Structures are given as structure tokens and as C-alpha cells.
Structure 1
Amino acid sequence: MNGSLQGAWKIGTVMGIPIRVHFTWFIVFGLITWSLSTLYFPKAAPDLPVTSYWLKGALAALLLFASVAFHELAHCIVAKRYKISIESITLFIFGGVSRMKSEPPHPRAEFNIAIAGPLSSFFLYALFYFISMGVSGSMKTLFIYLAQINLIIGIFNLIPGFPLDGGRVLRAILWSKNKNFFSATQKAAGVGRKIALFFVFFGLFSLFTGVPGGLWLMLIGWFLFTAAQASYQQSALQEYLFGVKVKDLMVRDLINVSPSLSLEEVVNNYFLKYGYGGFPVVEDGKYLGIITLKEIKGIPKNAFEDTRVREVYLKHKKQWEISAEAEAIKALESMLREDTGRLVVKKGASIQGLITRNGIARYVQIIGK
């Protein structure tokens, strides 16, 4: 699967790709270790010390997540063949996600990237099953479990519900047929939502009928539904902004403020007068940064008269710049990544314009009607 997650920590790098662990991973790691140590291993290999069960449970949980990481690495290795940059791989409660900086260039690339994940899981299934044939006792039980779980991961990911790998295979097929990436994404996401709802309702039915795993199925269904919905919305946004450049949406007639102004002057003569959420700070024609309501809110009102803009404004950072020729969707992605409401278009030391989230939202609202 591809995507992104907040609340993750980097634990290492493999082949130049940062590997991150989401905080939910620790929850499921504990649950898997507990269930294997108290239920699976005692039943499959009785008469062993309790410590042995817990050690094997923890080892199996670690190898399971290593298998998930291997699955995501397979996607990334194939993606790199198509010159797609990889930001990171994140392990979390439902498995793993690989974050790619761009979409596949054509349907065949999409198909190959998507199918690499399930194929890698089937490879691990065969590998662990082969290893289990050469060992005995509790170790045989351990490797049989790992073989079975990788087989399940491979089959589950082939379900044609976007954003699962099977859903991406479906998108590749639809894309190849209708030659429209956005339409293919939206149709695949629609199928994904239907499959997700099936998981939710089947899980609910299981809860009422006493079939085990109902709650887990509902959680998986909820996750798949929200992911499919987000993919649909993102695709619609990409379609609306397709071919639109930053220069087409940026504000050119800027109202600048001097760093020597007091906050009282800025509030009364700029924020209240124009209603904007921020203003560029310029001195002698040189762009210095920006001042927004967020910075002002941190200052007591009785200090407005004596506090100057230069004391509180946000100094400019290189990552808050974008070219006028860049795509508007790239500007939006940068704003979301940097958690800022605007980017500046510079020429030398001076500022040519601003592109804002609100400006993009207004454009999409008008076009989408």
C-alpha cells in the first residue's frame, strides 16, 4: 500500500529508504506477542517453559513486521526502476505503507509496482515453509506460522479494493483501457469503498453471531474505507488542478508590511482592514518573511503598541519557496508537508507573488461546481 502517516519514528534506513514505526505498531506488536505466547504456541508445542513461549512470540511478531517491511520494500525497489523517489516506509497497526513522491508514469509501471508486494509475500511464504521442513519442535511451529501469515498477507493484498495492491492492479487495468488516470483511480477507489463496507458489515454480523474476529474486520473495513475515500478525493483534486501552474493561481498584487511597524498598526491597518491571514514582511525591496495571526495571538494585547513586526514575524525558509512554473498540486503538497498556509514565488531577493491554500481551495470550489 502507498500513503502516509503521522506520529511515526525513524528506526533505520534500508537501500536509502527511511524505515519508520508508527506508535500503533507497538500496540499490535504487544497483542501479537501476547496471543502467540499464551494461545498459539502453548497449543501447538505443549510442555515448553513459559519463557520459551514469550521469546518465540516476540520473535514471531518481529519477523512478521520484517515481512511487512519486505513487502513494502518490494514496491519501492520496483518503483525506483521507474525513477520514482521514495520518501519512507512506515509500519503501523494494519501493516505498512510506502510513501512515494509521485504517481507511476504509465499503467504497466503501476501494475508492476503493485504486484511486487503480493509476490514478495508469496516468496516469503515459500521461504518460511521450506525452512519449516528442515527444523522440528517449536521452531517448526514458528516458521509454519510465518509461512501461513505471509500467505494470508499476499492473498489479502490481492483483494481488488483500492488502495490495497489488488486495487492498484485494478487501477492499472482500468487506466490501460480508458487512458485516464484520474477516472481509473476514482473507479478503483469506488470499488475499494464497497469492499471496505462489506468488511464493516460482515464484522458487525460476526460480532452479533459470536464469530471471532468481528471487531478486527470492522477496524480493517473502516481503515480501508477512509483510505479509499481519501484516494478518491485526492484524485478529484489532482484532476481539477491538472495543468494548472502556480503562476495561474498566485496573488500578484501583494500588500506588504514593514518590519518597523508596531503590532497595533498591523492589526488595525492590515489584518482588520484587508481580512487576510498573513502579510509579507519587506524592507528596502527585500523579502524577509511573513507575519500571520498565529504570531500575533501569542503576544498580549497590552504589548501591541511596543512590539514591532521584526520581533515576531516568521523568517523566510527556502522550503517555503516555489517556482511560478511549478504545478499547483505540487504547491499544495508542499504546503501540507510544511504545515504552512502559503508559499512565496521569489525572483532574486524580491517576492513576485503568493500562492495560498485558500486560493487553491477557492479555485477548486469554482471548477468543481
Structure 2
Amino acid sequence: MRGGIRVGSISGLPIYIDYSWLLVLGFLAVWLSAAYTKLSPSFYLGYGAITAFLFFLSITFNKIAHAVTAKLCGVEVNAINIQFMGGSNPVEKESDSPFTVFSIAISGPLASLILSAIGFTAAWMLAGDAIFTSNPKTIETLPESIGELRTIWTMITLNIARINLIFGVFSLIPALPFEGGHILKAAVWKLTGDRFAGIRWAARSGQFCGIMTMILGGLVALGSPIGGLFLIFIGWFLLGSAGGYLYLNNLQQALLDINAETAMTRDFRLVDGEISLRDFADKFLLMEEKDANPIYIASSNGRDRGIISAGAIRNIDSSEWQSQTLQSLVKPLDAIDTVDLKAPLSLVVKLLEEKQLRYVIVRSPVGSVAGVIDRGDIIKALDSKLLWRIPSEYIKQIKLDGKFPPNFRLVEICEQLNRK
């Protein structure tokens, strides 16, 4: 999902930097500055910050490569998110084939490996074959042969090359949120024909890797507190991010698996369409509680005729209420938006939001009213399927408000599903 600090745009796509970079850049600047302490005791933190910033630009290039590849594959991207690891660019529709997922995923590691090759080449041009030696004494004598400033920039380009190499290889780990996780998702999707199965495999793999990384970090922290804490942070990030993918995957599958018949209620009143408006007002409208907003369905000759627009009775002179029947307030079922029993919840959500309806009528195969669905019914059905344990009072409030809670973001999720 889009978020963070907007820093500009490229090709019409807004660029957002995740807030976590404020912490990551500071940590990297301090960590990487140790390599420059001997060469520049007064400005080693500055060179560490330069290296960290160049690494940030590498990640930016990685994300731009994702966005460009997505566009080339026909996937419309609406923003570029610069996150430390994982994450995806918000898209107008999801990838419709395993090959597209694979193409977009592999573009990131390839971009990092290309930058690594450029970095090693630049370092070689600055210092020659000395950069390929494993003898530390050769590196220590570089300032004498090429100068301190040139040595520092050699070390910076080498660090960027190594970081991109590690990042490119690291991102191929077959676990979400890494690109390797998306590659695994594409492979499982291709083999099973089930996109949701692919996401589950890749997300579970990400959770396993997160747990193992945190355990490793705990062991490393015994000898190297900073390195151990960094690994624990990475593991915690992996665990949470993979869990987010799994949660979203389960929600998407539920929106497709749960149909209108499962979610609907019989929370409407069937009224004889032949009664007079006076009888309708006396027997129904005047008997309702003050805040009640019931749904009335008119029926006559054994058939459901339509929805009764109870509020429209105010437009009819009360002197005519005895002579006019309820049919004058009925809006025929064929003139309103309805769904059938097997319609998925994603379609119901889309209809509710696009038409700004309070509820949707569910019709049986013979055309009668089988039930109604409002936003509260949808949340209740998802709650039952996904075991959210949402309080009934909260669901009642959603029914009264006639709006989905903003944190659910069901509209965005269903729009992506319905565009597939």
C-alpha cells in the first residue's frame, strides 16, 4: 500500500519513501563509517553517510526497474514505493499470469547485480587490480600509490558494489517479501494453477525465514550486539511482512469464496403491495422505532414486485393515501441493481461502493427476493470465515454508518480482484 514521504515523481508516477528509511540510513551511515576511520578520522561519518545514500539510490533504481517492467508487461502502476526490503508498487490491477509475476520480480535482482558490476568496474578503474586481492596489506598501501581521496572513493564504490551484490543475491531468497518469494509464488502458481496457493507457499516461507533470522540474530548478538540486533530487526521485518501477505491473500480468497447466499440476511419486511397507503402508514411506518430504517419489499399475487420507497409517501397528499395502493411507491426489482445467490462478496462490495447503495438485494433463480446484504453483513461474513472476532456492537455500528471501516481497505482490494 502507498505510504511514506512523497519526494517527487518519474514518468508521472509519484515516488514515496517509507519512513523506515530514516532509521535505516542512520544505522547504515554509522555502521559503514567504520571502514573510513583510519583514512579520514575527521570525516569518516560523512563518508559513511555518502555510502548509505548511494545504497538508497540503488534501492530506488531497483524499484524503478520494477515499475518499468510492470508497465512493459501491461500492469498499470500508480506509484513507486521505496522500501528497505520487499514491498511492492501500488498497481491498478494484479498480474494476470505467472510469467508476468516472474518478469516483474526478477527485474529487481537484475538491477542490483548490474549496479554491482558497475561498482566493481568503477573501483577497478580507480585502483586497478589491487581491488581483487584478498591481502589486507595491499589495500592498506593504496593511499601511498593512488592517494587518500582516490582510495576513499575506491572503497565507497567497492562497498556499493558489494552491497548491491549481496542485496541482489539476498533478494532471490524464495520467501516473501523478497523478489525470490514472488518468483516462488509464480512457480507454484504455474504448477498448480492456483495464484492463492502460490502466495501461501511464499508467505509461509517468509515467516519461516523471519523466525530463523531472529534466532540467528539472538546467537550472533552474544558476540556482536550490533550485528545481532540488525539480524533480529531483519527477522522481525520478514515475519511481519510475510504475515501481511498471508493476511491479504486470505482476505482476497475469502472475498471470492464467500457468496451472496452465505452473507445475506432476511432483514427485510414483506408487505402486500395491494394495501392502501393509509394502511401502510398506520400498520408499518407509524409503528417503527424512531431510528429504524427497515427495508420493505412489496409482494402481490405470490410474486415479489420491488422495493418500497417509504420516504416517497411524503410526496403524496395525505388525502389520497386511502385511494392509492402501495404499488405507487414500488420500484420494480428489474429497475434496481441486484445480485444472484452465487455472486462473490467482491462483486457485492464493488456494487455497494460504485452505486453508493445502503444495501444490495439478492435474488433467487426465480427472481424473488432471497435476502439483502449491507456492509455490516459483509464484515460479519468475513469475520466468520477468517476468525477476526469482531464485536457484534462494532458490526452494528457499521450497519448504521453505512460505511466500511477505513482500515479494512476492502474497496481497493475488491477493485483489484474485479479487474482481473
Tell me the alpha carbon deviations over residues 141-167 of structure 1, each in whole angstroms, 9 at most, x when there is no partner. Answer: 111111011011111111111221111
How far does residue 242 in structure 1 lie from its aligned partner after superposition? 1.9
CA displacement, residues 109-132 of structure 1 (integer Å, 9 cap, x when unaligned):
111111111111000000111111
Letter in 1 for 2:75: I
Q: Which amino acid aligns with 1:363?
A: A
Deviations 1:189-238 (A, max 9, x none): 11111111111111112223446511111111111111111211221221
Confirm or deny that 1:83 pairs with 2:74: yes
- Percent identical among aligned pairs is 28
Displaced runs of 4+ in structure 1, greater than 6 A?
Answer: 243-255, 282-285, 323-327
Q: Which residue type is aligned with residue 382 of structure 2?
A: V
CA distance in structure 2 between the aligned counterparts of 1:237 and 1:72, rounded to whole angstroms: 26
Q: Distance in 1 between matches of 2:255 and 2:87?
A: 29
Q: Quote the residue 2:369 is aligned against.
A: none
Change (3 A) 1:200 1:5: farther
Give the letter for the 1:69 counterpart: T
Q: Tell me: CA distance 1:368–1:60, structure 2 relative to 1, closer, same or farther (3 Å).
A: closer
Cα offset, 1:84, TM superposition = 1.5
Correspondence list, 1:76-115, <5 A: 76-94=67-85, 97-115=88-106
Query: Whose radius of gyration is greater, 1 or 2?
Result: 2
- Give the 3-state SS of the residue equivalent to 1:13 in structure 2: strand
Question: What is aligned with 2:291?
Answer: 270
Correspondences of 1:105-144 after superposition (within 5 Å)? 105-135=96-126, 136-144=150-158
Deviation at 1:252, TM superposition (A): 11
Q: Partner of 2:418 in structure 1?
A: none
Q: Secondary structure at the match of 1:86?
A: coil
Calculate the TM-score normalised by the size of structure 2: 0.60
Deviation at 1:23, TM superposition (A): 2.4
1:207 and 1:215 in contact (8 A); partners too: yes
Counterpart secondary structure, 1:213: helix
* TM-score, normalised relative to structure 1: 0.68
Work out whether residues 111 and 169 of structure 1, in 8 Å CA contact, stay in contact via their aligned partners in 2.
yes
Q: Deviations over 1:56-89 (max 9, x none)?
A: 3332222111110111111111111222222322
| CA-atom RMSD in angstroms | 3.6
Residues 365, 149 of structure 1: alpha-carbon distance in 2 compared, 3 angstrom cutoff: same
- For the Cα contact (< 8 Å) 1:68–1:95, is it kept in 2? no
Match of 1:228 in 2: 242
- Matched-pair contact (CA < 8 Å) for 2:6–2:17: yes
Kept after mapping to 2: 8 A contact 1:344/1:351: no
- Correspondent of 1:182 among 186, 196, 206: 196
Give 1:298's aligned residue: none
Q: How many residues align?
A: 293
Q: Name the CA shift for 1:166/1:330 in 2 (closer, same or farther; >3 Å).
A: farther
Q: Say which of 16, 23, 35 aligns to 1:40.
A: 35
State the secondary structure of the residue aligned to 1:102: coil
Q: Which residue of 2 aligns with 1:217?
A: 231
- The alpha-carbon deviation at position 107 of structure 1 amounts to 0.8
Identify unmatched segments of 5+ residues in structure 2.
Answer: 127-149, 270-288, 295-308, 313-336, 361-371, 388-420
